[in-house]
Amino acid sequence: MNRRSTGRKNLLAVAGCAALLGMPCAAFAQVAPPLGTAAQFGALGNSGVTGSTGLGTIVNGDVGSSPTPAISNFPPSTTAFPYTVHLLNDSTVQQAHTDAIAAYNFLAAQGPGLVIADQLDAAVLTSGIYSFVSGAADLAANGTLTLNGPGIFVFQVDSALTANTGSNVVGTADPCSVFWRVGTSATLNGITFHGNVIADASITVGSTSNVAGQLLAGTGATGAVTMAGSGGNTIGGCSGPPLPPPPSLVEIPALDRAGMVLLMLVLGGAALFVLRRRRCA
């Protein structure tokens, strides 16, 4: 089947969904991306992560940035136990950045799925792959997007994602099974937002906006996670447990020449003693 035929089918499916106003619309088969080390991060940047001021933002997941480890406003923003703020571009953050890029590409390779309208207000969706007519996704001020049912949701946002002030994402879907691949930047100013956002550029979370999911920014050349305002909000809830530190090696001091000679004499004497006892037995 050629691309033109596939496009016609997608448009017919969109028209069918539009005709069934208020009814849930399903898309195509989809697979959650392997996140690797990025799975333990609540906020991961490329050029930095800025926490909110005032009451601060609580992040349920690690916080870090690679290759530029510019972390600011932590505190007053914090990570929930047992997660960590990585102030350096350590090996964990480096690997997480690499894995976030792989996850972005993994999602992109799954294709556009069902093409839907850019405006998500009043939409009711079940699991599947969705993309947008103009490549952008917008949830208007005070608008509501409903995600219902089990399974994986993949949103292919080729340009910008915007959740405006007062908007909400609701429904029975598991927020940790919702993935937003964003080709440029995401701005999340709503009251609640569900899903893991993996953006090629930056991610901005507004004051008092709560996100149930992970924020992985800067899979492209640059990109930061910015938590605007005076805090009092939360981010995370989908991060896996942090990796345990590698076991420390106990160093045994090297023996000098005299110590080696003494050790050989002791071992030799012990062996000779055992041999004599066997002969006498």
Query: Mind listing the pLDDT tens digit for each residue in 16-60?
Result: 444 333 444 555 579 999 999 999 999 999 999 999 999 999 999
Per-residue pLDDT at 262: 61
CB 57 within 8 A of CB 73: no
User: 213 or 23, which is more confident?
Assistant: 213
CB 233 within 8 A of CB 205: yes
Residues 6+ apart with CB under 8 A from 116: 14, 17, 25, 123, 130, 131, 132, 133
- Is pTM, for the whole model, over 0.85? no
pLDDT over 80 at 10, yes or no: no
Using a pLDDT cut of 90, give the percent of the chain over it.
74
Longest Cα pair distance anywhere in the chain, in angstroms? 101
Chain length of the chain: 281
Using a pLDDT cut of 70, give the percent of the chain over it.
76
Per DSSP, 63 falls in state E
Per-residue pLDDT at 279: 59
Q: What is the mean pLDDT of residues 81-108?
A: 97
Q: What are phi and psi of 214, to 5 degrees?
A: -105, 150
Q: Per-residue confidence at 255, pLDDT binned at 50, 70, 90?
A: very low
Per-residue pLDDT at 243: 66
Per-residue pLDDT at 100: 98
Q: What is the mean pLDDT of residues 215-234?
A: 96
Per-residue pLDDT at 180: 98
User: 201 or 13, which is more confident?
Assistant: 201
**Helix H or strand E segment including 154:** strand 153-157
- Token pair, residue 168, equals 């909400």
pLDDT over 50 at 250, yes or no: no
27 by Cβ neighbours in 10 Å (0-12 / 13-18 / 19+) ranks as buried
pLDDT over 60 at 203, yes or no: yes
